Amino acid sequence: MDQPMPPVSWLEIDVDLGFALFFLFLLCLFLFVTVVRCAQTVVDPYGAISTSTYQEEQINN
């Protein structure tokens, strides 16, 4: 007779599946951060540039 399988908890995840889900989470996090940064650049394109870039440099002879 077959032995009944013990109930599997939903917390028990295969190691390979765990790594895949972890890297998928990191990829989604990176994508979210990139989208937010791009949206900030589109809304205010000159906000990230320092004001010293706008100013002319003094040339001393």
pTM of the predicted structure, to 2 decimals: 0.56
Indicate if the pLDDT at residue 59 is higher than 70: no
pLDDT digits 0-9 by tens, 21-55? 999 999 999 999 999 999 998 998 887 676 665 55
DSSP per-residue letters across 5-17: PPPPPTT---HHH
**Cα–Cα distance between 18 and 11 in angstroms, integer?**
10
User: Of 24, 29, 27, nearest to 13 (Cα)?
Assistant: 24
Identity at 29, one-letter amino acid code: L
> Which DSSP category does 4 fall into?
P
